[in-house]
Structure 1
Amino acid sequence: MKYILLAYTSREGWDSVDYSSPEFLEMCRFYEDLGKELAATGELVSTEGLGEPAFTRTVRRRDGVPVAVDGPYAEAKEVLASFSIVDVASHDRAMEIAARVCAAIGDSIEVRPLPEAPPGV
């Protein structure tokens, strides 16, 4: 079963990251090692870090017409930092991977199944 793991970080952490700090470099090593491990087991489908949240836009329907609106908003406490898609044997395995990321990095990880077909089909 495929799952998407959505990693959220604090807006403050995003804005203040020092890309040359030992902590950031250790985080990069963790993600690189985890990616290699999951690729070796055949569980990694895809993973990507996301760009600056200030450039994010959301398309919503207003008066029947799609309109791009700004987002995320300044009051947001967390921003979506990255996502990974894994293909694992069980929900427990997806939760195990998410817990490892949370323990190592501190980000909140949302785990959502990616069903192969709509419910009831």
Structure 2
Amino acid sequence: MAQYMLIMRGTDESNAAMMANIDEMMTTTRQFIEAMDKAGVYVAAEGLDDPALGVVVHFTDEAPIVTDGPYGETKELFGGYFLLDVASKEEAVEWAKRVPAVPGSKIEVRRVPGEDEVPQDSAKFGKADAYRESNGQS
């Protein structure tokens, strides 16, 4: 089994269409999550707040610059995700085809590398592990 993230991407237009039918979208999304749970592939799902309420931290050679959201010239916005544990990319794609979405939306399917694929002995991960252990999160 492998984990795949189904990343919801929309435009201003598709987001507006979704919000116009938010009650129906929430109902169908709950049904979709129940179907994934029943199939034993559901791990997590979250939606994000309006991009206009966020900020962007832009890294340059100088100090990071913080600007109000969403993302300037970007035409597509990340709206949330579903995280699945499935047997293959093909299975993840089949679930992505079932995501309740409005015309103009896209679902990006990306595999989440397993722990055995990450260089565990790097200093970065050692610090993260030590932090989790010291805060009772291991």
Same fold at TM > 0.5:
yes
Please list every run of at least 4 consecutive aligned residues from structure 1 whose deviation after the TM superposition is greater than 6 angstroms: none
Alpha-carbon separation, structure 1, partners of 2:77 and 2:14? 10
Higher share in strand: 1
Alpha-carbon separation, structure 1, partners of 2:72 and 2:55? 13
Residue 15 of structure 2 corresponds to 14
Q: Is the 8 A contact 1:2 1:88 kept in 2?
A: yes
Matched position secondary structure for 2:15 = helix
Residue 118 of structure 2 corresponds to 118
Over the aligned positions, Cα root-mean-square deviation in angstroms equals: 2.3
Taking structure 2 as the reference length, the TM-score comes to 0.70
Alpha-carbon separation, structure 1, partners of 2:64 and 2:23? 40
Tell me how far 1:84 sits from its aligned partner.
1.1
* One-letter identity of the residue aligned with 2:33: G
Whose radius of gyration is greater, 1 or 2? Answer: 2
The count of corresponding residues between Structure 1 and Structure 2 is 114
Unaligned 5+ runs, structure 2: 122-138
Taking structure 1 as the reference length, the TM-score comes to 0.78
Unaligned 5+ runs, structure 1: none
For 1:27-65, what per-residue CA distance to the aligned partner results, in whole angstroms no more than 9, with x for missing partners?
222211110111122211110111010122222322343
Residue 24 of structure 2 corresponds to 26
Q: Is the 8 A contact 1:8 1:80 kept in 2?
A: yes
Tell me how far 1:15 sits from its aligned partner.
4.2
